[in-house]
Structure 1
Amino acid sequence: MRTRMHTGDELEILSQGFDQMAGAVQDKVEALELSVQQRDDFVGAFTHELKTPMTGIIGYADLLRSMQPDPEEQREAAGAIFHEAQRLEALSGKLLQLMGLGEHAPQLVPVQLDSVFAEARRAVAPALNGCILTMQSNGLTVQGDADLLCDLVINLVTNAAKASTPGSAIAVCAEQADGSIRLTVQDHGQGIPADKLPRVVEPFYMVDKSRSRRQGGSGLGLALCSRIAQAHGGTLAMESELGKGTTVTVTLPAPNQTAAELAQEEPV
């Protein structure tokens, strides 16, 4: 409740003070309610994502344990168990990274993007699905953590490959702009609906859940990329159009620019 007194004297001043305090308390309560809701949503989504592969693993393991399938059925069951176990491993690894980034700030040092791109290219080669990958670092150096930056590029390229058809182009490029480094990953894949674009960096959010799970996705890749960008004092932005593709732009600090300075220029 608000007093909203208009007496023109000391009581009105006191009334305004109480109203301001009530407003501040209400803002805090609403923020706590949102935090609790986000936590509940996260736990619910995490539980669901664990349950899905575990159901497949238990089902196929029970088939192998209780029946005598022929060799082809055995290979199919073993393959399904292996695929779902890989999903669990990727899910747990990315979740640990997300938690680690929230607890410990990385040590940022000058990192040459040539080496980051080379390592990322080797890692994503099996996941390109016939896509043509080009990477252009322009010899640039950023202020960052080499392992985290490599993970960022790997996740962005892997997502681009999953959304693209074989033979499509995926371009990774780094450019210097406004005293910082802009890293872009562009594909010509399915694209993302405009109404869903703001949510794609939420943990466990998947635009097409069935396709993502079929391809081994967990809905954590873009969330992790966003956290990595934030940990560097940078930003992650996305532009997409259905049927034409998606461009992800990550802004990172240049070697002569601290993460704090970059964060002041471009709020996360």
Structure 2
Amino acid sequence: MSIEVEGVTKIYGNQKALNNISFKVGKPEIVGFLGPNGAGKSTMMKILTTYLKVNKGQIKVNGYNLDSNSKEVQKSVGYLPEHNPLYLEQYVKEYLTFNAKIYGVSKQRINDVIELTGLTPEAHKKINQLSKGYRQRVGLANALLHDPDVLILDEPTTGLDPNQLVDIRNLIKSIGITKTIFLSTHIMQEVEAMCDRVIIINKGEIVADKKLKDLRDENEQIVIVEFDYRVEDAFLLKLPKVENVINTHDFVYEITFKTSEDMRSYVFDFAHDNQLKILQLNQKNASLESMFRELTNQ
């Protein structure tokens, strides 16, 4: 197992941020750590990266005990914190070179992570010239410099626009083909888009641990689409196998289909035929959302 958490409790003063939680994560696997704000997600992330110590329990990362082999854990983990700490006045390659010296990795590895994270066209720029999406790529590149087996990502898509979201999601999924990725989020769509499995935490306790495939209703799906202007529901109801259409807000629609077939291609073709631009196109797991709301009282 890449991550083994057994009976972990973390206390701040009189408050239990984590209360006797246990879970395991294998390799390769992308696991979403889902919960409302203040549920204990960031605390767990900081513990896994050796930044915080537990009051009770045991943790192993890549077989190394967190207490007795913290240095080995640090060598085998890449971490992207929620507030990505970057030296904004440094150039992208300069920043990565600085960190590469700390890890003792080669110059070739710097070039490799720049290419892997799609930073090649921006590598000559200062970090303060980059968009939020590219700054996240720099953070991911830095986390990957020492080629860790485990990536810990704390809210990796926060604050990104729809195009940046798609890019970062695809990047994380490609990395997850060979590595263990444990990412926290409070956005269910991010779990649906990237993860194989979801662990839900609420008030410091694990309340669910499920494979995404086990939560899907094979005979129903909800597609969320955002167009560049309003579309009458009647037009969307003409799509094949449509059961319901809801205009949730602005130009965003939730379309329910009664089929196991992925209907996003049909929505894409509809937009093309009607000269519409699609700003986002995702599937929504209604079962995941229902379970989350029930277990967290949201």
TM over 0.5: no
Higher helix share: 1
Higher strand share: 2
> Which structure has the larger Rg?
1
Q: TM-score, normalised by structure 2?
A: 0.23
Q: TM-score, normalised by structure 1?
A: 0.25
Q: Using CA pairs under 8 Å that are at least 6 residues apart, name the structure with larger relative contact order, 1 or 2.
A: 2
